[in-house]
Amino acid sequence: MSSLRMTSDLRRQLILGAAKRCFARHGYTGTTTKSVAAAAAISEALLFKHFPSKAALYAEILSDECEADPALMELLEREPSTATLVELIRSMVQHFLETAAGPDQEEAQRLRLMVTSHLDDGEFARLLYAKIETLIGAVFVASLERAVAAGDARACGSEPLNLFWFAHHTVMTAALTRLPSVHCLAYGGANDLERQLCEFLLRGIGLNDAAIASHLGHELAPGADKTAIAESA
């Protein structure tokens, strides 16, 4: 039994390795499950026993990349608290703004793929949302509960995880306006866009102004130099 499990796990990793090479070389659209199976030297039928679709393969690769990010893992291993909650929101904002503004075309293409999935069958978006929830959801909810208990936030409804998704969708849409070479919105110059977004989202999930001022920090003051914290979720 143990040997069979190991064989299955190794086969899964072999498929993922082949898929990463194919996606890197041909992009999402140019990669097929048939080409991944050929690269892994297995049949397409065997590939489907491990991954039901190309979208499932790609979502798994993105999840693996998130779990390999030491900055994200360090954040998720922190004690749930108001400070952890603020850092989760700030990291998400920084990630999306970097994706929209930075030179990493692969990240920008992933964001476009996410949007396209919503307009298509939604499979990739559903898979990725599930991965994000598994990775971050419990830490967000626990940190929000601690913030409420500490008097730093008010309770907002019976589904606290919805607040995470509202924040996620808001900042993803803000990033989309900046993907074209000519931005759809300038946000008034956006010198302190990151700060504005963080404050907007933190108030939206229930934090009070005193907690925001205390935990968001002077480094995000308007006009200050900022060092982005990498996060791939």
Distance CA 11, CA 26 (A): 22
User: How does DSSP classify residue 233?
Assistant: -
Q: pLDDT tens across 105-159, in order?
A: 777 878 888 898 899 889 889 988 998 999 999 999 999 999 999 999 999 989 9
Structure tokens given for 217: 């920090």
Q: pLDDT tens across 25-62, in order?
A: 888 888 999 999 999 999 999 999 999 999 999 888 88
Q: Are the CB atoms for 41 and 113 separated by under 8 Å?
A: no
Structure tokens given for 52: 């039901």
Share of the chain above pLDDT 90, in %: 55
In one-letter notation, the amino acid at residue 4 is: L
String of DSSP letters for 184-200: S--GGG-TTHHHHHHHH
Q: Are the CB atoms for 140 and 161 separated by under 8 Å?
A: yes
Q: What is the pLDDT of residue 226?
A: 39
Average per-residue pLDDT for the chain: 86
Q: Which of 1-5, 19-23, 227-231 has the lowest mean pLDDT?
A: 227-231
Q: What is the pLDDT of residue 32?
A: 95
Q: What is the pLDDT of residue 104?
A: 61
